[in-house]
Amino acid sequence: MAWYAVYETATGALVSVGPSVASPLPVGLTAAALASEPTPAEMWDAASRLLIARPAKVLVDRLTDLVADADFRAAWDTLSDANKQRVRTALIRFLGPYRYRSQSSGVTLDG
């Protein structure tokens, strides 16, 4: 099955992606054939009028967020290495599946 990207001719802004194209196309739109159905790993680039690789997702360890917090850091720096490890182990246990956040997300557990 052929796939098409329909975009605004002037700006390259993507309007539609799929296996069917209106005939005739409305004025101001261009249809470009794609090699295959796009995957979530691809995204449209208006400048080049092509599919490009989507940036990889970046995860942030909330333990890093904690150590970067001024109040937490002030207490953390008073701990011995052994107690730092105990606190770290406990935090990992308590955070569970919420240990990592999206890079775009805020540092608080607001979900």
Q: What is the contact surface with another protein in residues (CB under 8 A)?
A: 1, 4, 6, 14-23, 25-26, 29, 31, 37-40, 43-44, 54-55, 57, 59, 96-98, 100-106, 109-111
Identity of residue 100 = Y
Determine the Cα–Cα distance for residues 57 and 48; give it in Å rounded to an integer: 23
CA 75 to chain CA mean position, Å? 33
* Residue 90 or 109 with smaller CB distance to another protein: 109
* Residue 82 or 96 with smaller CB distance to another protein: 96
Shortest distance, CB of residue 73 to another protein, whole angstroms? 23
- Element (DSSP H or E) covering residue 111: none
Is the separation of the CB atoms in 17 and 31 below 8 Å?
no
* Residue 37 or 75 with smaller CB distance to another protein: 37
